[in-house]
Amino acid sequence: MAHRTWGGRFAEGPDALAARFNASLSFDQALWREDLWQNRVHARMLHEVGLLTEEELRAILEGLDRIEEEIQAGTFPWREALEDVHMNLEARLTELIGPPGGKLHTARSRNDQVATDLRLFLRGAIDELLALLLALRRVLVGEAERHLEPLHVLPGYTHLQRAQPILLSHWFLAYYEMLSRDAGRLEDARERLNESPLGAAALAGTGFPIDRHHTARELGFTRPMRNSLDAVASRDFALEVLSALNIGMLHLSRMAEELILYSTEEFGFVEVPDAFATGSSIMPQKKNPDILELIRAKAGRVLGALVALSAVVKGLPLAYNKDLQEDKEPLLDALATYRDSLKLLAALLPGLRWRRERMGRAAEEGYALATELADYLAAKGLPFREAHHVVGRLVRRLAEEGRALKDLALEELKAHHPLFAEDALPLLRLETAIHRRHSFGGTAPEAVRERLLEAKKEVGLD
């Protein structure tokens, strides 16, 4: 049992299956950079407070540098029997430098060590995701600008039924707004998780004269956590990140779903780039939007990660419990899934081929301009609810006759209500309807252009 850091209490080793079930190295190995950083900072603090000599500190830092070189070169001797990344690094350090390596764990437990590593790791992961979100938001802004002149109009939908015409630029900017809020949620989560658990030790703090404020500063944290029980037992910071990832992935899934629908022959609005589609093994004509379908499906993985960690922590007594080892696998998977989805969409969107004429025809069909006539009557003084019924009866008659709104003559409009006059006819044109939606946040070109200019400044494209 000598090779096990906790073996002194035990007369026999663990069952082989139990040892494998207990080990976390296969996934917490991802934290090796953060663990080395923490080890260096902890060692320097121990020296500052007199718990390590100058020679011991030098030996530890040189040993940690050697370990980093081995890991980067792929020669580090990872050992599953040592359970996790922390014990692997500590055991190797002791092999390299002897007894001083065993002093590194003074005034520290794996409980505060892993909590510190995970916060450091998440801080870096969030920074990467924020950069990817910025890149995708820039793509959305670029696509919105590209399709503003000339105007690309498509039908907007409610209940997946054609409702009112909108600009394609407006559609892109809708997802820009969603992703901007996603970035804000990650920024908020980063701010809250940026506190240091290091020095909380197992659960109660330590009697050694450590300086937790020093280590917090050196690791880039805003402050040390103020309660040692909370420091080692809480994973709400990981839950908050997963919540943000879940919402963000839902937005990407919605975008993917719309593009999947729009790329079908039934809609025919857009064609997905060949590089992000696949074919059929039996049907040579098929072009399947597999990447978009997988983004849609993988939203379930991220939601599953959130549910899994919620179930882990929901009934845990204070302080640390081995259950918390189950925080990393779902979290790492969710981070990777969201990261890859952001990259894929940023690469895919500029290659979409939008069919402007097909979209325009669809926007005119299906009585999507009926609301314009109801608004016209309301502007003339008719109560809107009555105007709604007048135009509803008109649409019903046209549908029965198989005719479109644009086929209406002024006499027919007047037959349905005397308030209709010559100035109502331009409302049956797509361009008129689009330009009328000029309220703040609306789809009129001037409103979209105004928001686009602001968005470009927000993402540094002005």
How far, in Å, CA of 218 to CA of 236, rounded?
Answer: 24
> Which residue in the list 26, 47, 147, 159 is annotated as catalytic?
159
Does 16-106 match 112-361 in CATH topology? Answer: no
**263 within 8 A of 289, measured Cβ to Cβ:** yes
User: b or e along 198-235 (b: 16 or more beta carbons within 10 Å of the residue's beta carbon)?
Assistant: bbbbebebbeeebebebbbebbebeebbeebebbbbbb
How far is 350 from 141, CA to CA, in rounded Å?
Answer: 11
DSSP code for 379: H
Per domain, the residue ranges of the chain are 16-106, 112-361, 366-428
Catalytic residue (one of 24, 180, 251, 280):
280
Please, what sign has the CA dihedral across residues 184, 187, 188, 189?
Answer: positive
Per-residue pLDDT of the chain (462 residues; tens, 9 = 90+): 444 555 666 767 778 888 888 889 999 999 999 999 999 999 999 999 999 999 999 999 999 999 999 999 999 999 999 999 999 999 999 999 999 999 999 999 999 999 999 999 999 999 999 999 999 999 999 999 999 988 999 999 999 999 999 999 999 999 999 999 999 999 999 999 999 999 999 999 999 999 999 999 999 999 999 999 999 999 999 999 999 999 999 999 999 999 999 999 999 999 999 999 998 888 888 899 999 999 999 999 999 999 999 999 999 999 999 999 999 999 999 999 999 999 999 999 999 999 999 999 999 887 888 989 999 999 999 999 999 999 999 999 999 999 888 888 999 899 999 999 999 999 888 888 899 999 999 999 999 999 999 999 999 998
Instruction: Identify the CATH assignment for 112-361 out of 1.20.120.140, 1.10.10.10, 1.20.200.10, 2.60.40.10.
Output: 1.20.200.10
- Of 383, 354, 187, give the one whose Cα is nearest residue 271: 354
Alpha-carbon Rg for the chain in angstroms: 31
Does residue 319 have a cis peptide bond before it, meaning omega lies within 30 degrees of 0?
Answer: yes
CATH architecture of the domain covering 366-428:
Orthogonal Bundle (1.10)
- 159 catalytic? Reply is yes
In whole angstroms, what is the distance from residue 110 CA to residue 5 CA?
11
Query: DSSP of 186-220, one letter per residue?
Result: HHHHHHHH-EE-TT-TTTT--SS---HHHHHHHTT
Give residue 3's identity as a one-letter amino acid code.
H
CATH, domain 16-106, list 1.10.10.10, 3.30.450.80, 1.10.275.10, 1.10.3720.10 = 1.10.275.10
H/E element holding 358? helix 356-364
- Name the pTM for this structure: 0.93
Identity of the amino acid at 345: L
Q: How far is CA 101 from CA 6, 54, 167, 438, in A?
A: 16, 14, 65, 69
